[in-house]
Amino acid sequence: MKLQRIKAVAKKEFLHVLRDPRSLIMGIAIPLLLLFLFGYALTLDVDNVPLIVWDQSDSPASREFVSRFSGSRYFSQQRHTDNYREIESAIDRREALIAHVIPVDFARHIGSGEKAPVQAILDGSDPNTATIALGYAEAVTRSYSREISLRQALRHGGTTAVAQLDVRPRVWFNDDLISRNYSYPGLIAVIMMVIAALLTSLTVVREWETGTMEQLISTPLRGPELIVGKLIPYFTIGVLDLLLSVLVGEFVFAVPLRGSLWLLFGMSVVFLVGALSLGMLISVTARSQLLASQFALVATMLPAFLLSGFIFPIDNMPLPIQGITHIITARYFVTILRGIYLKDVGLDVLAGEAVFLAVFAVVVITLAIRKFRKKIV
């Protein structure tokens, strides 16, 4: 390969990108749009759970119990009610996700040190949200119960009751359990995979449709020089997208980057070469831009979203599907980004994923070069 020829092809492709607003929009504006859209909309946190209460006891003890929920950031008390019909109506209208029914003898049970049952009615149409909301409610209830037990122990015996098991949790890597810190690195991987493949999937096939491929074939340009030259402009756009993603994560979403920035960019470059080469392979194989773009979406977007571990945990998938995920490059890049972002791990931990990305990049770009034939079919 001659560097001068590669530079000429790269210059030609740069000029095309700069003169084509659609390519710039697809390469820069769409990734930013997706980052903000998914960054704000995609969250697994459950805050401000709408709550209604039927306080049949109407006692200081029951009002104190209710105040623990209204004072928590996880719950938003909507109103009080006095019958089950209003509870059912509120849940049907999605005005409430959870309802507490406090019995008449709640204060008597509390005063005598007995168990005081409280009914919690949940909307189970969304099982994941309902399970998380129930966990929050149980945590608030346990905290209130411990305080009541402590008061009674001090009141009656002057000594505190010693629990048999004292669990003191400590969360590593994501102290506040913010789901965005976990999902944002995966979002970078998915967007880079989809956009990179879409950008390059139209490069060679566009030359065939516009009739300019015949001119390129008549030049001394060789196949590898054409492929590499066309990859360079989109590689530049991909690096720019990565830089913007890191800056948006740092200054807009406050996602902590605990690991090495150089390792992050190094692994991203390897992944980017593989993703761009996959799009180039699709472009070389297809003979229409419509077919190339549709195939690129199927080959990148669906696997990246569904099989990379970005949204759905791979361990929860059926074994045959778990086997398929091993050939999805986005899976390895998601693992790398989360390891660098959240855990500050290095190549000693991520060596397997890094080797897979490097092998994939080499294999795919080799296939694209060999698949391209400098002749009119």
What tokens were used for 136?
């929050």
What pLDDT, on the 0 to 100 scale, is given for residue 117? 85
Close Cβ partners of 55 (under 8 Å, ≥ 6 residues apart): 62, 63, 66, 80, 102
Name residue 79's beta-bridge partners. 52
Cα angle, residue 263 at apex, residues 254 and 303 outer, rounded to 5°: 75
What pLDDT, on the 0 to 100 scale, is given for residue 164? 43
What tokens were used for 72?
């928590």
Going across the sheet that includes 49-55, the strands are: 75-80, 49-55, 98-102, 119-122
Close Cβ partners of 226 (under 8 Å, ≥ 6 residues apart): 9, 204, 216, 372, 374
What pLDDT, on the 0 to 100 scale, is given for residue 170? 62
Provide the whole-model pTM. Answer: 0.78
What pLDDT, on the 0 to 100 scale, is given for residue 158? 55
What pLDDT, on the 0 to 100 scale, is given for residue 53? 92
Q: Can you list the residues of the chain whose pLDDT is less than 70?
A: 156-171, 211, 214, 374-377
SS3 sequence, the chain? CCHHHHHHHHHHHHHHHHHCHHHHHHHHHHHHHHHHHHHHHCCCCCCCEEEEEEECCCCHHHHHHHHHHHCCCCEEEEEECCCHHHHHHHHHCCCCCEEEEECCCHHHHHHCCCCCCCEEEECCCCHHHHHHHHHHHHHHHHHHHHHHHHHHHHHHCCCCCCCCCCCCCCCCCCCCCCHHHHHHHHHHHHHHHHHHHHHHCCHHHHHHHHCCHHHHHCCCCCHHHHHHHHHHHHHHHHHHHHHHHHHHHHHCCCCCCCCCHHHHHHHHHHHHHHHHHHHHHHHHHCCCHHHHHHHHHHHHHHHHHHCCCCCCCHHHCCHHHHHHHCCCHHHHHHHHHHHHHHHCCCHHHHHHHHHHHHHHHHHHHHHHHHHCCCCCC
What pLDDT, on the 0 to 100 scale, is given for residue 293? 80
- Nearest by Cα to 221 from 202, 238, 204: 204
Cβ contact 181:260 at 8 Å: no
Other residues' Cβ atoms within 10 Å of the Cβ of residue 9: 21
Tell me the domain boundaries of the chain: 8-43+178-371, 49-156
Task: Please identify which residue in the block is written with the tokens 């709550």.
Answer: 51
Other residues' Cβ atoms within 10 Å of the Cβ of residue 258: 12
What pLDDT, on the 0 to 100 scale, is given for residue 192? 87
Kindly tell me the burial class for residue 376, based on how many C-beta atoms sit within 10 Å of its own C-beta (0-12, 13-18, 19 or more): exposed
Task: Please identify which residue in the block is written with the tokens 């590669």.
Answer: 6
Pairing verdict, β 119-122 and 98-102: antiparallel
Superfamily of domain 49-156: abc type-2 transporter like domain (3.40.1710.10)
